[in-house]
């Protein structure tokens, strides 16, 4: 397992050791001992999975307060653009976003600390997206920021007329509206 730092402190790319042969491949998608040896102390308690088609954008979502969640995300089938926005009050990189392609080809994962907004867009025909959380979901603690926020200016790499959103995600506040509530 290789750990790659991003420009945002504590937001890490995890590159597993992949063993290929003529039958396919094998890799450990998570190993708690390896995480602990790298001072990554997370107690993941919930696994989630979504299946989406091209142009779907899910996010930007987060949970706040005692129900904030760190996430280890990956895309074992298809390809997504994964996005994390630092919303840690007092962070030097507050409001900065980072995006990375996660796919079945590159096997990369993104380790997202608590108090980051998170989302992804589907870049392949379909994508299976999986993530581990270190806290249980709590509806009352759920927050978000609209994907198209002009302050964040995220390029989701999907043509505007191909974007598919949930009704809930269409109603999310802007970054500035979110920050006013802090």
Instruction: Choose the catalytic residue: 42, 107, 118, 131.
Output: 131
For this structure, is 175 an active site residue?
no
For this structure, is 27 an active site residue?
no
Kindly provide the b/e burial profile for residues 106-139, where b requires at least 16 CB atoms within 10 angstroms of the residue's own CB.
Answer: ebbbbbbbbbbbbbbbbbbeebbbbbbbbbeeee
Instruction: Choose the catalytic residue: 42, 61, 107, 147.
Output: 61
- H or E segment to which residue 168 belongs: helix 167-170
Strands 116-122 and 19-21: unpaired
Token pair for 79: 């390809």
Rounded Cα distance, 74 and 109, in Å: 5
- Contacts of residue 126, defined as CB under 8 A and 6 or more positions apart, other chains included, come to 51, 52, 53, 54, 77, 78
Question: Do 120 and 103 contact (CB within 8 A), yes or no?
Answer: no
* Active-site amino acid positions: 61, 131
């Amino acid at each position: 397992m290789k750990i790659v730092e991003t420009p945002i402190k504590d937001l890490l790319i995890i590159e597993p050791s992949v063993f290929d042969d003529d039958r396919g491949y094998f890799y450990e998608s998570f190993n708690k001992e390896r995480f602990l040896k790298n001072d990554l102390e997370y107690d993941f308690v919930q696994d989630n999975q979504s299946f989406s088609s091209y142009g779907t954008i899910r996010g930007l979502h987060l949970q706040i307060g005692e129900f904030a969640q760190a996430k280890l995300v990956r895309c074992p089938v298809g390809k997504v653009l994964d996005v994390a926005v630092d919303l840690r009050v007092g962070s030097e990189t507050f409001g900065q976003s980072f995006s990375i392609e996660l796919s079945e080809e590159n096997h990369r994962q993104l380790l997202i600390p608590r108090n980051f907004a998170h989302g992804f867009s589907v870049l392949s025909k379909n994508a299976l997206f999986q993530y581990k959380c270190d806290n249980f979901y709590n509806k009352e603690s759920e927050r978000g920021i609209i994907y198209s926020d002009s302050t964040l200016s995220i390029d989701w790499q999907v043509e505007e007329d191909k974007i598919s959103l949930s009704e809930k995600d269409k109603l999310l506040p802007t970054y500035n509206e979110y920050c006013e509530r802090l």
